[in-house]
Amino acid sequence: MWLYGVLSLYALVFLVYAETWAFTLDETYHLLAAQLIGSGRTPYIDFCFPQTPLNAYWNAAWMGIFGESWRVVQGIAALLTTAATLIAMKFAATRFPDRSWRPLAAFATVAIVAGNQLVALWATSGQAYALCLFASVAAFYATVESMDREGLQWPALAGFLAGVGASSSLLTAPVGPVLLVWMLLYHRAGNRWGKGAAFALAATVPFLPRGVVSSRTTTRSFASLDGAREIDSARLQAGIHFAPI
């Protein structure tokens, strides 16, 4: 139980830091993207957003519930990071080979995360790092749990979480393939290929909104091209010509 006390203390300090001191310059762009999405704009169509969009929609959803504030976004990021730390702590507490060392291994896990400057700097911001951290750690844990289970729930959950990370930032795109190959090679129960299919199919689900946006973008692009052709045709019929540059 004392481990959860340590984690709770870390979570409290981390949340206070996120709400009072944490700041990154790049975060403002992501907050603006979330604000635009909340006002009905669509990334790639109405404004430039050169990243996968799930984290922006995630931030927009929370801002829609609690109000448009950087504190909302950074508070959620701090909670996600704490959740990722909890999963890592649980893994160490249940999987460390020497049972007598498991409590110390779990404590060391929390201490390593708490003392990591990059986590404190980036995983408290509105950028995708907190969501990617949580999704990657949770996907790893779900993959490990699936190894000795016959059902498809855990591999599907692992694939979905890996897809969440990649659809938030392509920096985490390798997580899915690595976990999938590892699961196929070292699985110990159930149908190997059924698990692989469940993982791969579930990993595509977080990308469905991106597919809808892409189809809308393509449709609008062709509509704009047709409109430009109609304008050019009308200019030619009116005898209006443009000299080449």
Residue by residue, pLDDT tens for the chain (245 residues) are: 788 898 999 999 999 999 999 999 889 999 999 999 999 999 988 999 989 999 999 999 999 999 999 999 999 999 999 999 999 999 999 999 999 999 999 999 999 998 899 999 999 999 999 999 999 999 999 999 999 898 899 999 999 999 999 999 999 999 999 999 999 999 888 899 999 999 999 999 999 876 666 565 555 545 455 554 555 565 556 665 544 44
Does 111 lie in the same domain as 3?
yes
Domain count, the chain: 2
Q: Is there a single domain that holds both residue 28 and residue 119? A: yes
The pLDDT score that the predictor gives to residue 54 is 95
Say yes or no: 93 and 151 in one domain. no
Match 């390798």 to its residue by tokens.
174
pLDDT of residue 216: 57
The burial of 75, by beta-carbon neighbours within 10 Å (0-12 exposed, 13-18 middle, 19 or more buried), is given as middle
pTM, entire model: 0.85
Cβ contact 53:213 at 8 Å: yes
Residues 138, 117 within the same domain: no
| Domain C-terminal end among 106, 127, 148 | 127
Q: Are residues 4 and 121 in the same domain?
A: yes
DSSP assignment, residue 50?
-
Are both 142 and 160 inside the same structural domain?
Answer: yes
Which domain does 33 fall in, by range? 1-127
DSSP code of residue 147:
T
Q: Rounded CA gap, 105 and 124, in Å?
A: 25
